[in-house]
Amino acid sequence: MSKAMTGAKMVVQALRDQGVDTVFGYPGGAVLPIYDEIFQQNDIRHILVRHEQGAVHAAEGYARATGKPGVCLVTSGPGATNAVTGLTDALMDSIPIVVLTGQVPTFMIGSDAFQEADTVGITRPCTKHNWLVKETEKLSATIHEAFHVATAGRPGPVLVDIPKDVQFASADYQPRNAAKTQRYQPQVKGDMEMITKLVEAIETAKRPVFYTGGGVINSGPAASQLLRELVDATGFPITSTLMGLGAYPASGRGWLGMLGMHGLYEANLAMHGCDLMINVGARFDDRITGRLDAFSPNSRKAHIDIDPSSINKVVRTDFPIIGDVGHVLEDVLKVWKARGRKVNREGLQRWWAEIEEWKKVDCLKYKPSGKTIRPQHAMARLEALTKDRDRYICTEVGQHQMWAAQYLGFEDPNRWMTSGGLGTMGYGFPASIGVQMGHPDALVINVAGEASWLMNMQELGTAVQFRLPVKQFILNNERLGMVRQWQELLHGERYSHSWSEALPDFVKLAEAFGCKGIICKDPADLDDAIMEMIEHDGPVVFDCLVEKHENCFPMIPSGEPHNKMLLGEASTKDAIGAKGAVMV
């Protein structure tokens, strides 16, 4: 039964009806009526961030770690514009978040009022959909529709802009089941004829590979389980994008590791040399494909994706299947089993023998140093000391992000939070706050570079205020590491503005905010320092001083195919002469 209430009260009630328990936000004049309603209830916890960008990234981290949509609330004008980076990040990585923004009163819109911005116009390119609600009677139904759009089909960010007079006015509240969701009902079942053709290809392929992405994780836990069943039953090798790590376990017998620009040698060569590529929930990103005319040149390609616009957008495919990953994988398994579980065992045996030779290159091998901490060693020790714990990993963006993806193993989905498509420096710290809110008893670690971490370092205040024991593990090389690496390899060693100057004392900075700071520069002290970080019951900033000019390998140089990789010094000599490898 409908019930009259103010627009501000509707917002809180709609969030309650959607099962929201946490909102990340920052108050301002245009949202004060909503904040007043938040003050008068106890069902929804509000987390006060220190910057609106942090609110959106925190909502992203919460969404990715819990599987539920993240929610944030910000004011008009600069509050909304500060949210744009996070919205774009969520759109690129298909993260379901609902952003509620305040707006000047309806009668002042277009008058250049104080803290007015065309929020709907500004955010239209970086949301799945957005709304400006000018009538209070439409507010609750719009919020319910926003949650539906954010989570249905390919997930993504949505925004509801709410003028201040709409928040004050009263109207009848529309419950969740009254929302008009039928206007957006994406196709979830794949075409059975095309699925059968894919199964026929699976039965005969000599050199198959599964290429998986974040769409598997976005589809939910059942999709990851179905993927594992299909991979293990067929005996096919599997690789993943940066966004798909954890959908298939790193300890699984089919696992080749991550592929792409900084992917593993064996994964990239398998993609280059396969005869059947089965893309499950990935979008043929340029960091994966490299040079398109040389991308997996001799393979037939399948593409399973819920977003029709992704099919044949970048790479033409032989088996295009539009549908939800979970539903499609379920049907693939059913058809494959019904037809006798057939694979080309002789071809597979030869294919795995070739892959095992590539694995012997050991592309992540490095020479430890007794004097300085190499970043690979820092990641290897972090993995060894935390892998058996209830652990969630976030990252910032740069070399440290790639080292984390290479050296940390993920056995389950929703344990790895990183900015893939947009590559947002400053993402990881607020994301770790969102993850910790979703999993208060878990170990949450943000692997960072010092330059990225400084972009949203103010969120230390949030971590301390809400007693969130997030661990900030900073690989400090006093450089913009990935920029410096590209300048060394591709720009004649002209290091234009890639060396950090006037860095803070991170230990003192942590203590100034009221949390623990740790510094470590001796490899012999690293394990003890990591354990000190883990066992501390509050937030920690760990300043890990690492080798300043370390490069991240393997690396496919820009514009090169998958079989033309730069390898580190320790593994290069083992790769020379390996079948299919062309060394730079």
Per-residue pLDDT of the chain (584 residues; tens, 9 = 90+): 468 999 999 999 999 999 999 999 999 999 999 999 999 999 999 999 999 999 999 999 999 999 999 999 999 999 999 999 999 999 999 999 999 999 999 999 999 999 999 999 999 999 999 999 999 999 999 999 999 999 999 999 999 999 999 999 999 999 998 777 888 899 999 999 999 999 999 999 999 999 999 999 999 999 999 999 999 999 999 999 999 999 999 999 999 999 999 999 999 999 999 999 999 999 999 889 988 989 999 999 999 999 999 999 999 999 999 999 999 999 999 999 999 999 999 999 999 999 999 999 999 999 989 899 999 999 999 999 999 999 999 999 999 999 999 999 999 999 999 999 999 999 999 999 999 999 999 999 999 999 999 999 999 999 999 999 999 999 999 999 999 999 999 899 999 999 888 999 999 999 999 999 999 999 999 999 999 999 999 999 999 999 999 999 999 988 888 889 999 876 655 554 444 444 54
Q: Catalytic amino acids?
A: 52, 114-115, 164, 482
pLDDT for the residue numbered 398: 97
| 100 and 202 both lie in a single domain | no
User: Does the residue 559 lie in any domain?
Assistant: no
**Are residues 257 and 222 part of one domain?**
yes
What's the gap between Cα 327 and its chain centre?
22
pLDDT at residue 1, as a whole number: 45
Provide the pLDDT for residue 568.
87
- Output the 3-class SS for 77-114: CHHHHCCHHHHHHHHHHCCCEEEEEEECCHHHCCCCCC
The verdict on residue 153 lying in a domain is yes
Q: Is residue 484 domain-resident? A: yes
Domain of residue 287 covers 192-359
Q: Are residues 286 and 314 located together in one domain of the fold?
A: yes
Residue 364 lies in a domain: no
In a domain, 302, yes or no: yes
Same domain membership, residue 529 and residue 410: yes
User: In this structure, are 272 and 325 located in the same domain?
Assistant: yes
Alpha helices in 274-407 (DSSP H): 286-289, 325-338, 345-359, 375-386, 399-407
> Does residue 98 lie within any of the structural domains?
yes
DSSP 8-state class, residue 175: P
Q: How many distinct structural domains can be found in the chain?
A: 3
Contact 552, 482 (CB under 8 A): yes
- Please classify residue 291 by burial: count the beta carbons closer than 10 Å to its beta carbon, then call 0-12 exposed, 13-18 middle and 19+ buried: middle
Strands (E), 208-318: 208-212, 238-240, 255-258, 276-280, 300-305
Residue 183: predicted pLDDT: 83
Give the end of a domain, one of 178, 207, 233. 178
Of the residues 112, 147, 178, which one is the last residue of a structural domain?
178
Dist. CA 416–CA 239, nearest whole Å? 16
Rounded Cα–Cα distance for residues 499 and 476 (Å): 12
**Separation of alpha carbons 157 and 129, rounded Å:** 8
CATH number at residue 31: 3.40.50.970
One domain, residues 238 and 325: yes
Q: Residue 2: its pLDDT value, please?
A: 64
On whether both 322 and 424 belong to a single domain, the answer is: no
210 with 314, same domain: the answer is yes
**Same domain? 423 vs 533:** yes
d(Cα 296, Cα 462) in Å, to the nearest integer? 46
CATH number for position 314: 3.40.50.1220
Beta bridge partners of 545: 476
Whether 172 and 207 share a structural domain: no
Structural domain contains residue 459: yes
The C-alpha atoms of residue 112 and residue 178 are separated, in whole angstroms, by 36
pLDDT of residue 202: 98
Residues 467 and 537 in one domain: yes
Element containing residue 395 per DSSP (H, E): strand 391-395
The reply to whether 367 falls in a domain is no
Q: Does the CA dihedral 430-436-439-443 come out positive or negative?
A: positive
Query: Does residue 171 contact residue 7 with C-beta atoms inside 8 Å?
Result: yes
Query: Are 25 and 56 contained in the same domain?
Result: yes
Query: Is the sign of the CA dihedral 197, 202, 205, 208 positive or negative?
Result: positive
